[in-house]
């Protein structure tokens, strides 16, 4: 399976630190749906999230991890989503992937935003995917990006959290 983290904006945005998401946030809302539709409270939602900044190819990339404590000492260690493109009041991340096995093509498009207003961050994340009738040569991340949000929506999550 090939995955492409959309860092295309990095070259153009190099050196732009945008909105500072760093820190620990108390999760006040975490709802999701799969397939997309009527969001419900997310089972086993984190109590806290911890945003950290990294540098990839000279550009800022944000991610967060789920934590059970306010000190961010007990976190799951897995980065949840990547946000590489500065947008108004926050960051955006796009990831595409494809997989081809036998005669089946699988395309995946994931988009997420983290918007900070005052001390509240709102994260919206959605995943779209499809199994189109494509041969291996046409089953590509470019095709996944081209189809994007026109594919069936597989998952949506909405998180609101207050900075400590």
Task: Give the number of other Cβ atoms within 10 Å of residue 163's Cβ.
Answer: 15
| CA gap 26, 47 in Å, rounded | 6
What local confidence, expressed as pLDDT, does residue 163 receive? 98
Per-residue pLDDT of the chain (164 residues; tens, 9 = 90+): 555 444 444 434 444 568 999 999 999 999 999 999 999 999 889 999 999 999 888 889 999 999 999 999 999 877 777 899 999 999 999 999 999 999 999 999 999 999 999 999 999 999 999 999 999 999 999 999 999 999 999 999 999 999 99
**Residue of 93, 75, 95, 97 whose CA lies nearest to 85:** 93
> Would you list the domain boundaries of the chain?
2-152+159-163
What local confidence, expressed as pLDDT, does residue 58 receive? 84
Say if pTM beats, i.e. exceeds, 0.85: yes
**Residue of 135, 159, 131 whose CA lies nearest to 48:** 159
- Extract the tokens encoding 94: 């796009």
What 3-state class would DSSP assign to 12? helix
What local confidence, expressed as pLDDT, does residue 78 receive? 74
């Amino acid at each position: 399976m090939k995955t492409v983290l959309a860092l295309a904006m990095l070259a153009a945005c190099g050196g732009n630190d945008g909105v500072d998401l760093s820190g620990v946030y108390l999760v006040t809302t975490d709802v999701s749906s799969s397939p997309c539709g009527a969001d419900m409270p997310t089972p086993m939602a984190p109590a806290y999230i911890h945003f950290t900044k990294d540098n990839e190819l000279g550009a800022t990339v944000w991610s967060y991890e789920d934590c059970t404590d306010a000190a961010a000492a007990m976190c799951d260690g897995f980065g949840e989503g990547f946000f590489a493109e500065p947008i108004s009041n926050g960051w955006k991340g796009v990831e595409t992937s494809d997989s081809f096995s036998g005669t089946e093509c699988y395309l995946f498009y994931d988009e997420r935003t983290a918007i900070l207003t005052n001390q509240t961050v709102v994260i919206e994340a959605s995943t779209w995917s499809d199994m189109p009738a494509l041969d291996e040569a046409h089953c590509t991340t470019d095709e996944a990006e081209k189809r994007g949000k026109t594919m069936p929506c597989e998952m949506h999550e909405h998180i609101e959290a207050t900075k400590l």
